[in-house]
Amino acid sequence: MRDAAQSLRAAIIATVPGADVPEAITPGRWVRFSTNGRPGDTAGFCMLFDDLRGAVFGCHRQGISEVWSAIDKAAMTPAQRIAHARKVLAATAEREAQQRQQWAENAQRIAQVWAQCVPLVAGDPVTLYLKHRGLAGVWPLPDALRYHRALPYWHDGEKLGTFAAMVARMVSADGRMVALHRTYLTLDGRKAQVPEVKKLTGAAGPLAGACIPLHKPARGYIGIAEGIETALAAWCASGVPTVAAYCAGSLAAWRWPAGVQRLVIFADADKAGREAADKLRARALGSGLRAEVLTPTDEGADWCSVWAERAA
């Protein structure tokens, strides 16, 4: 059993970016694990079949779903292939049913939080925060950004309090709201003293290809950056309508809207940022788009820091 579990674990780590697979994998049971390095994340999944001959695994967040076999399928007998296929179908159906239920529950929670948010007004904690980030005078701000007056903050199952927050809706390629991005703040617009200032809610659908729609395409072109503040700064500096991808992995997997002919990728000047930008550019070029990557010259910088320095 140990050999099968370890072989499966190695296959998952090689296939699913960021997979933190536990050493112990119990056959016949679903195992959930983190794929973003954050405590409490359970986007990764796997099930090793009871016969130790096969498994399914993947990541809900990244839209990955794979089948693993301990035996070369070419060496299987017809009966073994049929049995393996039946196990895969049964496990896949069970996983998809569980995921649909979880997405439905998350969608309800997301809608409740979004309904509690209010439009931004000058002088509220969100506009003060953006001012501190070098984005003073940017108005009107995108409707995808809202203000929550008292958003609960949970960490490792414990509620640490309620905080002002900038809340942004994350939408899928077909326009459905699939998550909320939250930035926890003080009332004077500073980052709250919490373990993780920026957090994403549980997803209400696949996050692969989603973004925070700060702007719509104009004249067939659009820009994309990793973070909200970076996307706003890129828009201010270039005039290119820009959306936010949330993180490097989301930027690499982003699906641009129909009708886009030109893409400007405002990359962060770090290894993850450059690699994600290159992947997106390659996909865009392969689809016939014009695409270019713009990266700050200083290592570790993003376009928000560049804009803030210029403004100063």
Please report, for residues 38, 125, 179, 185, 231, the alpha-carbon distance to residue 150 in angstroms, rounded to integers and kept in the order given.
23, 11, 18, 10, 26
pLDDT (tens digit per residue) in 218-266: 999 999 999 999 999 999 989 999 999 989 989 999 999 999 999 999 9
d(CA 7, CA 69): 10
Q: Which of 48, 58, 54, 49 is nearest to 19 (CA)?
A: 58
pLDDT of 153 strictly over 60: yes
Sheet holding 262-266, edge to edge: 242-244, 221-225, 262-266, 290-294
pLDDT of 17 strictly over 70: yes
pLDDT of residue 218: 94
pLDDT of 73 strictly over 80: no
Residues ≥6 apart with Cβ < 8 Å to 146: 114, 117, 118, 119, 120, 126, 166, 167, 168, 169
d(CA 141, CA 166): 12
Report the length, in residues, of the chain. Answer: 312
Please report, for residues 65, 71, 78, 86, the alpha-carbon distance to residue 74 in angstroms, rounded to integers and kept in the order given.
22, 8, 10, 17
Query: For residue 309, what pLDDT band results from cuts at 50, 70 and 90?
Result: confident
pLDDT (tens digit per residue) in 163-177: 999 999 999 988 999
pLDDT of 1 strictly over 60: no
Q: What value does the mean pLDDT take over residues 8-13?
A: 94
Of all residues in the chain, the percent with pLDDT exceeding 90 is 69
